Structure 1
Amino acid sequence: MDLFRLDGDIALVTGAGSGIGQRIAVGLAEAGADVACFDLPGSAGLDDTRARIEAAGRRAVVLRGSVTEAAEVEAAVDAAERQLGGLTVAVNAAGIANAFPAEDMPLDQWQRMLDINLTGVFLSCQAEARRMLARRRGSIVNIASMSGSIVNRGLQQIHYNTSKAGVIHLTRSLAMEWCDRGIRVNAISPGYTATPMNTRPEMATQTAVFEAETPMGRMASVDEMAGPAIFLASRASSFCTGQDLVIDGGFTCW
């Protein structure tokens, strides 16, 4: 089990204020890492993330900014290294989701989705890798989605699907650029997951559809994303790079 331990690792998690990003940040701490938690200035959940990490006996720092701003991402990585030490693990979970008919979608809605979900992941990977490459050591995990590989029935999300498909191929491309320089880059593609976004009261009807269409008959909990992230961050996956780990309850089998 020592293969899965992250003792001595320094991690940065974007989107750490809620949902999958928050649970992974806490999971990395439970596996032994100290964690820098990055999210938007208005994210009230960051303080809770820090408290949960510290309750696990690890160090935590809260960093605020936007993944769409290169200077803010660079500053966050600098602050993480200054306060915790040299970065060895990064999980890029910041992202948004919404829906709109393709034929009527405003350009700014399309662009905002790509700016956050895809360009934001690129800027994060770039800033993280600049430090890791200098030490020839690091594992980067990007949060994509099964929607990057399939088209969800009944959901009008061309911009979201496109952004997540981009994350998967960005992950593979970066993995091949950096594989001989000490950095592994992989992706996790969750299926329908019970995040705060998907468990709002107004989502009840849609949630029932999500559960019915998933072979395992339910949505994932955010807890079920921590294990895959720990695996990809740790020595347990030391020969794994450029992969997209789909965690979907069997959804993409049908």
Structure 2
Amino acid sequence: MSPTLLVRSSLPTVSRSLAVARLPPRILLHARFNSTLDSAVAAKAKVVKTLPDFSMANKVCMVTGAARGLGNEFCRAFTQSGCTQLAILDLKEEEAQEAAQELVKQSCVDSDMEPGDYNIIGIGCDVSSELSVQQAYRRVMDTYGRIDSVVASAGIVENYSAFDYPFDRIKRLYDINVHGAFFTAREAARHMIPQGGGSVVLVASMSANIVNIPQPQTPYNAAKAAVKHMAASLAVEWAKKGVRVNCLSPGYMLTKLTRTILAHDTELKKTWESLTPMGRMGEPEDLAGAVVFLASDASRFMTGSEIRVDGGYCII
């Protein structure tokens, strides 16, 4: 029943002003809201406005592990926030270049932008190799002349019990997740400091703070804890040089790969959801606001911090 009908049927002999005054709080709020919908002020307020500091326009961004998964989502978040100069890094250059082309197409949908407005490139890079990372940065600098925001998103996860975990797999995990993050951050700072600064975002995980169950993944948890503390440590080293380093820690996210895995293990999905206070897993786009905040000028007085986007998993 609408507020107007409620007034007329239940209070037929009372004045309109008195009737509105007696409406329950929620109905009163609704009535007030409706009364201003057509005003000139409301019409102007409907125009989308964004705090300028969140804009990624005129910034050169780079994301590792970005051909797919969360890294690719970060790239979309940047272009949606105005970024037109972006380097997508992934192990296979062909896949990185395909992702770059696809991102340009997506960015032009329902937009005034044209493909020629974007300068998005794909670069092959093995983040576990310091030399490969250095070469990738040289290509970025040759293309854009500067680098403003870097997201170290490349990473892997495997599930072995501690007794059964092969050493070569442990080493590979640390080489990518820990050493790769370090090489990416260090080379970013080498280029950012001479230009006056920049933002580095290391992607850790809620696993840096908790022990995941029921799956065993001790090396992964320890690696992400290392990334979290690495961000804080580098932040202190570079704070007065203009380079900010922060950490983004996602919870369980429904990437395409995760969806495929859970399609064959519905009980695991139910377990993860039951352990998350919000009762669901995150969508990749749930991270968009956080990564743009950390990479943009909106977080200019923030360094050495962690933002967890985990549906409340770590609070219980």
Is TM-score (shorter-chain normalized) higher than 0.5?
Answer: yes
The whole-number CA distance in structure 2 between the counterparts of 1:202 and 1:17 is: 24
The reply on whether 1:173 has 2:233 as its aligned counterpart is yes
Shift of 1:51: 2.3
CA offsets per residue over residues 229-252 of structure 1, 9 Å max, x none?
100011111110000100000111
TM-score, normalised via structure 1 length: 0.96
Q: Which of residues 52, 71, 79 is equivalent to 1:21?
A: 71
Counterpart secondary structure, 1:104: coil
TM-score, normalised via structure 2 length: 0.77
Is 2:100–2:121's contact at 8 Å kept on the other side of the alignment? Answer: no
CA offsets per residue over residues 125-149 of structure 1, 9 Å max, x none?
1111110011121000011000011
Is 1:26–1:49's contact at 8 Å kept on the other side of the alignment? Answer: no
Is 2:61–2:149's contact at 8 Å kept on the other side of the alignment? Answer: yes
Aligned-pair identity (%): 33
* Partner in structure 2 of residue 190 of structure 1: 250
Shift of 1:50: 3.5
Gaps spanning 5+ residues in structure 2: where?
Answer: 1-50, 108-112
The correspondence of residues 1-254 of structure 1 with structure 2, limited to 5 A, is 1-33=51-83, 34-41=85-92, 44=95, 46-53=97-104, 55-56=106-107, 57=113, 58-200=118-260, 201-254=263-316
The whole-number CA distance in structure 1 between the counterparts of 2:52 and 2:291 is: 15
Shift of 1:121: 0.3
Q: 1:127 to 1:45 in 2, by over 3 A?
A: closer
The whole-number CA distance in structure 2 between the counterparts of 1:136 and 1:54 is: 33
Shift of 1:55: 4.1
- Over 6 Å off, 4+ runs: none
CA offsets per residue over residues 159-205 of structure 1, 9 Å max, x none?
10011000000000000000000000001000000012311132433
Relative to structure 2, which stretch is displaced further, 67-76 or 198-207?
198-207
Is 1:143–1:189's contact at 8 Å kept on the other side of the alignment? Answer: yes
* Higher RCO, Cα 8 Å, sep 6+: 1
CA offsets per residue over residues 74-93 of structure 1, 9 Å max, x none?
11111112112300100010
Is 1:22–1:49's contact at 8 Å kept on the other side of the alignment? Answer: no
The whole-number CA distance in structure 2 between the counterparts of 1:117 and 1:76 is: 18
Q: 1:187 to 1:53 in 2, by over 3 A?
A: farther
The whole-number CA distance in structure 2 between the counterparts of 1:187 and 1:53 is: 27
Please report the RMSD computed on the Cα atoms of aligned residues, expressed in angstroms.
1.5
Shift of 1:31: 1.2
One-letter amino acid of the counterpart of residue 310, structure 2: D
Gaps spanning 5+ residues in structure 1: where?
Answer: none
The whole-number CA distance in structure 1 between the counterparts of 2:240 and 2:104 is: 33
Larger Rg over CA atoms:
2
The whole-number CA distance in structure 2 between the counterparts of 1:21 and 1:83 is: 21
Shift of 1:42: 6.8
CA offsets per residue over residues 93-126 of structure 1, 9 Å max, x none?
0000110010221211111111110001001111
The whole-number CA distance in structure 1 between the counterparts of 2:138 and 2:105 is: 21
Is 1:139–1:185's contact at 8 Å kept on the other side of the alignment? Answer: yes
